[in-house]
Copies of this chain bind each other. A is one copy, B any other.
Amino acid sequence: MRDVAVVGIGMDKWGELWEKDLRDLYVEAALLAIDDAGVDHVDSMYVGCMTSGLFNAQEHLGSIMADYLGMNPIPATRIESACASGGIAVRMGFMEVAGGFSDIVLAGGVEKMTDISGDGATFALATACDQEWEAYNGVTFPGLYAMMARAHMHKYGTTREQLAMVAVKNHANGYHNPNAQYRMKITVKDVINSVKVAEPLNILDCSPITDGAAAVILTTVENARKLGKPIVRIIGSGQATSTIALHSRSDLAGMDATRFAAEKAYKMAGKTPKDIDLAEVHDCFTIAELIVMEELGFVEKGKSGPAVEAGETAIGGRIPINTSGGLKSKGHPVGATGVAQVVALVEQFRCEKGECQVEGAKVGLAQNMGGSGGSCVVTILEAE
């Protein structure tokens, strides 16, 4: 296997982008990444996207994105794993370069969520859970995570305030991110007093509906040196699944796909949780970040709430999490999220984060998951 580096990153402002369509979003991020890498061609490309069929009545995204990027006839493949689509697109690109099939691969992700017709975003997003056994019985995504939150509170004594503190921290970070959708600081009181979505989760516990894209360029470390780019290696990649429906899980307060994916990534990287300097994790709801912290081994089971309360995951803390603002503040254009996590880590390694800089960070972890945790991909990066 060849060593693989991230040599280009691309991301533009996320939000409700009424003047841009699906292909505009992907192409803009891809061109930014290509320009950043300074490459004159790409051998192959991936498009992470969850449900452009329901959002935009457009499938066949490999063909359309290669076309609008002017990249025909290179291979172009769309990857779907609900909210983990982007992270798995990066993993596929990593495998293609590491395996020697291509030298330069573009891995991007996109979702255009605001111009949905038909049954609306809640219906479209519910296709990530078990449609026949969960959604048809009336549960929504916030409802699924609300059940997990209740289980975690019951089992470990996690408090309502601790949930809110995840959102407060991520908004404090996202406030400094020019590409973030919601650049506003919030307080615990704001979260607790915000509109109820699914008890105990309020609107400020939930990531938003977002239009956006992100892209990275992957190549061999050898090529990266020739390009004169700072070397950021992918040293670990792990992917796993869990049962899609909550009712099949033995522990509602855990997410075993994340644990299994992390174990594989740590093993490949030769690292342990203690070696990780910072992480971008999938905070689609505040409870998700708490559970994920535990499954990644950053804290013991049940200790995530107190850790957030103690500031361990804030900038300057023991293990800063979501310095980009996370899904909560930055936005969550589903297929783009996993790619944007990698973009955020590379920005940190390049010391481009200003107020959110984690000084001396060399090893970062990105955790991206689909649905209510039915799929997960963990990527570990190391800067030279």
B54, B63, B77, B242: which contacts A242 (Cβ < 8 A)? B63
Apart from A59-B82, A75-B241, A77-B92, 17 more pairs, CB < 8 Å: A44-B239, A50-B60, A53-B124, A54-B54, A60-B127, A60-B375, A63-B243, A63-B371, A66-B241, A73-B241, A73-B257, A75-B239, A77-B88, A95-B95, A95-B101, A96-B99, A99-B101
For A374, list chain B residues within 8 Å (CB). Answer: 60, 63-64, 67
Asked if B60 and A240 sit within 8 Å, CB to CB, the answer is no
Contact residues of A: prevailing secondary structure? mixed
Asked if B241 and A57 sit within 8 Å, CB to CB, the answer is no
Asked if B59 and A128 sit within 8 Å, CB to CB, the answer is yes
Complex CA–CA separation, A71 to B73 (angstroms): 36
Q: Is A244 an interface residue (CB 8 A)?
A: yes
For A62, list chain B residues within 8 Å (CB). Answer: 80-81, 241, 370, 375
Asked if B135 and A64 sit within 8 Å, CB to CB, the answer is no
Complex CA–CA separation, A56 to B132 (angstroms): 10
B60, B66, B92: which contacts A92 (Cβ < 8 A)? B92
For A260, list chain B residues within 8 Å (CB). Answer: 73
Given the interface pairs A77-B92, A100-B1, the reply to whether A242 lies near B59 with Cβ below 8 Å is no
For A243, list chain B residues within 8 Å (CB). Answer: 63, 67, 72
Asked if A127 and B57 sit within 8 Å, CB to CB, the answer is yes
Asked if B128 and A60 sit within 8 Å, CB to CB, the answer is yes
What is the minimal beta-carbon distance from A377 to any residue of chain B, in angstroms? 8
Q: Is A118 an interface residue (CB 8 A)?
A: yes
For A73, list chain B residues within 8 Å (CB). Answer: 240-242, 256-257, 260
Binding site for B on A (CB under 8 A): 1, 21, 44, 50-54, 56-64, 66-67, 71-82, 88, 92, 95-96, 98-101, 118-119, 123-124, 126-132, 135, 239-245, 248, 256-257, 260, 370-371, 374-375
Given the interface pairs A60-B81, A63-B374, A374-B64, the reply to whether A72 lies near B242 with Cβ below 8 Å is yes
For A123, list chain B residues within 8 Å (CB). Answer: 57
Complex CA–CA separation, A60 to B50 (angstroms): 8
Complex CA–CA separation, A58 to B133 (angstroms): 11
Complex CA–CA separation, A20 to B57 (angstroms): 26
B98, B124, B370: which contacts A99 (Cβ < 8 A)? B98
Complex CA–CA separation, A215 to B244 (angstroms): 21
Report which residue of A124, A371, A374 has the largest number of chain B beta carbons within 10 angstroms of its beta carbon: A374
Pull 16 A–B residue pairs with CB atoms less than 8 Å apart, ordered by A. Answer: A51-B59, A58-B127, A60-B80, A60-B82, A60-B371, A62-B241, A62-B375, A63-B241, A67-B243, A67-B248, A74-B240, A77-B88, A77-B92, A95-B96, A95-B101, A98-B99
